[in-house]
Structure formats: C-alpha cells, structure tokens
Structure 1
Amino acid sequence: MRAGMAPVPGAATAMPGVEMPGMGMPGMLMPGTYAWLALDVVMLTVMWAVMMTAMMLPSAAPMILLVAGMHRRRRERSTPAAPTALFAAGYLVVWGGFSAGAAVAQWGLHQGALLSPAMASTSPVLGGFLLAIAGVYQWLPAKSACLSHCRSPLGFLTREWREGSAGAVVMGMRHGLFCLGCCWALMALLFVAGVMNLLWVAAIAG
C-alpha cells in the first residue's frame, strides 16, 4: 500500500498462515458466503454420525443385550449364531444414512443463510414449520407403530428374527428404521434449538 493511502473501510486483508473467519470447515461463521467442498459434507456427515451413535446406541442397548443373550444360548446348544456386532452394525447403518441426509440438509440451510453460527435456525418461519411438523407427527399412527416396536425388544425379535450373519444385519437395520421412525422429527428440531445445543441433545437422547 502506498504511503498516504488509508485502508478502505470494510476491506478484508489476509496474512499468510492466518485463517480468516468463515473460511474454516464449513464456514459456519459466515452463512451463505462459503462454497462448500465435497470434503466438507463428508466431514459434516461424520460429525452427525458420531453424534447419532452417542445418542442412539445407548437406547438400543436393551435390544442388543437381548440379541447377545439369545445368540449365546444358541451357541451353548451348538446352534449356528451370528455375532451380535452385526446386529449393532446394521442398526448404525440406518443412523449413518440419516446422518448423511442431515448433513445435506444442513448444507442447504447454510447456503440459504438460514442457520446461525450455532447451527440454529435464523428463520421464524422455518423454526415454526419444524416445530409444527414435529408436533403433528407425535399423534400420527406411524409414530405409534414405530414406538411399539422399539418398546418391546422381545416382541420385535419374535416377529423379526432372521438366521445367519445377513439376518443379524437385516434385523439391526429393521430395528434402526423403527427407531428412526420414532425420532426423526425430534432430530429435526436440532435445527431449531441448535445442532450444538447440548441440553437439547441430552433431552432427545433421554
């Protein structure tokens, strides 16, 4: 800059090795101004997957323990039994798919400048819409049907039991789909309260 020339107000300057706000993954500080890369979406999917695993795997513990007990008894009787880990893997596959969808949704909201730096909705219309959808869904037969499957692990296994390793994965995925059917609307409210709002995350997980 020549001597005597004042900096233009509002002009951004960058120094080598210094990361400007809004230019990190995935530019959350400046919604709508950062062009996401595919890697950003992948990293965001991983973030959602870790969060969903931490929230939903404990709720599946009674079912997983029941499956483990049944397989243990089958092995004691020399009956073919599949590793319980395959059931858990199938369950997590479903939540991995949900995580990918949530990451894409977050990308869309971010590009539309509808999310704050805390990843909460900045639009009263969007927030109200998500709250209305979540409220109405709680009274629909689909929610009741999914909840009945999740609340009765023994009943689920009686109806859904499948033999072999592939059967264990399918059972895990079926259980995951029923749990997703129970919780997806509440998960959508993370975009209202803030994806990083730990109190709301704990409330949903509880």
Structure 2
Amino acid sequence: MNGMDMGVTTRLGSFAFFVAVWVSMMAAMMLPGAAPAVLRHAHATGRVRAVPFFVGSYLAVWTLVGVAVYPLYRPLGSFAAGAVVIAAGVYEFTPLKRHFRRRCRESVRSGVEFGLYCVGSGIGLMLMLVALSIMSVPWMSVIAVLVLVQKLLPAKAVIDVPLGLAIVGLGILIVIAPSSVPGLMLSM
C-alpha cells in the first residue's frame, strides 16, 4: 500500500494486484453489514452449509464491480472528484437508491441477488470512494461505516436527508476549496 494512497491521483497498479486489494477491501467493508442477510438466508434455508456459497457469491458481485472499475478508472483532479461526490450525494435522494436500499435489507434468494441490490444501494458511496482516493484507509473507513449504517438501520429522513446534504456539501467544498478537506491529497 506504500505509495498507493495518492488522493485523487492514485494509480491502481497491476490488474491482479488491484483485484486482490479490491476483494479484501470489499470483504472488510461489506461483510459486517451483510451479516443480518446471511443469518436470514441460513435460517430461511435451514442450511448452514449454504452460508459460504451465499457469502462467496455476494463477494463475487462486488468483485465484478472492481473488475469494471479497473479499466474505467482515471485519476481525477479536484473539480471532477468534487462533481462525483456531489452526484453521490444527489443519488442518496433518488427513488432508485431507496428501492435498492430497501431490497438490500429484505430476505433474498441468493448472494448474487443480495449483492446486486447492495451494489445498487451503495454505488454512490463506492463512486465517492473511487473519486476521493480508492486506496485511502480513512476514506474506506468512513464509507464502510456509512454502508453499515444504511444496511442495518431502516431508511429515515431524519438521518438520510442530512447525510445526503453533507455529501453534497463535501463535494461542493472539494470543488471550491479542495485544500480545506483533510486527507485529500489533490492535484489541481
């Protein structure tokens, strides 16, 4: 990881290295919030042996997201990073986000189905991570906490609206005063 966290100018390294890091990162970020769904699935099927396949297929969906990110990723400047963060904040208010978030909290038939719903729910936050610094442990931690909270708590305007507004505000701050955002190592 030495040299990997270069803010919005981070380079991803080789494909194999990136995928290995991405899978580890997704497991650390996404599995804590997936625990209730894994337990619901094990209870609904009555088979504890189904858990590894459910978890593996859930992580496979997130791995495919990383495989898609790799060829599309380009290091960004502060304006583009801020625009992506603003878009992520706006996505928090959309009916599509609410649909995926609700479905990500319901019982599902498979890890793939659960993964697809959770990707839809968390895609704005993941794009935010990619734009800010894909290899930044502090940003990973912040995004992981947000994902966990959104998976475990039901949607409530009293929480979701300020969160969406805070994300939009962060994006605006990055656009107008990027040096005021701690830990962002921006190229202008």
Percentage of matched positions with identical amino acids: 29
User: Which residue pairs with 1:104 in the alignment?
Assistant: 71
For 2:40 and 2:91, locate their aligned partners in 1 and report how far apart those are by CA, in whole Å. 29
State the one-letter code of the partner of 1:135: G
Is residue 116 of structure 2 the alignment partner of residue 177 of structure 1? yes
Q: Which runs of 5+ in 2 are unaligned?
A: 146-188
User: Which residue pairs with 1:45 in the alignment?
Assistant: 19
For 2:129 and 2:3, locate their aligned partners in 1 and report how far apart those are by CA, in whole Å. 19
Contact 2:37 2:105 in 1 (8 A): no
Contact 1:49 1:95 in 2 (8 A): yes
When normalised by structure 1's length, the TM-score is: 0.59
Size of the aligned set, in residue pairs, is: 141
1:204 Cα deviation (Å)?
Answer: 1.2
For residues 73-102 of structure 1, what are the alpha-carbon distances to aligned partners after superposition, in whole Å with 9 as ceiling and x for unaligned?
xx6xxxxx8622111121111001011122
User: Which residue pairs with 1:194 in the alignment?
Assistant: 133
For 1:199 and 1:172, locate their aligned partners in 2 and report how far apart those are by CA, in whole Å. 28
Contact 2:88 2:125 in 1 (8 A): yes
Q: Which has the higher helix share?
A: 2
For residues 10-61 of structure 1, what are the alpha-carbon distances to aligned partners after superposition, in whole Å with 9 as ceiling and x for unaligned?
xxxxxxxxxxxxxx999x7xx79x9x9xx81222122111111111011101
For 2:45 and 2:60, locate their aligned partners in 1 and report how far apart those are by CA, in whole Å. 21
For 1:196 and 1:185, locate their aligned partners in 2 and report how far apart those are by CA, in whole Å. 17
User: Which residue pairs with 2:97 in the alignment?
Assistant: 143
Describe the SS at the equivalent of 1:139: coil
For 2:3 and 2:131, locate their aligned partners in 1 and report how far apart those are by CA, in whole Å. 21
Which of 1 and 2 has higher RCO (CA within 8 Å, sep 6+)? 2
Q: State the structure with more CA Rg.
A: 1
For 2:71 and 2:19, locate their aligned partners in 1 and report how far apart those are by CA, in whole Å. 8
1:146 Cα deviation (Å)?
Answer: 0.4
Q: Which runs of 5+ in 1 are unaligned?
A: 1-23, 76-80, 115-120, 162-170
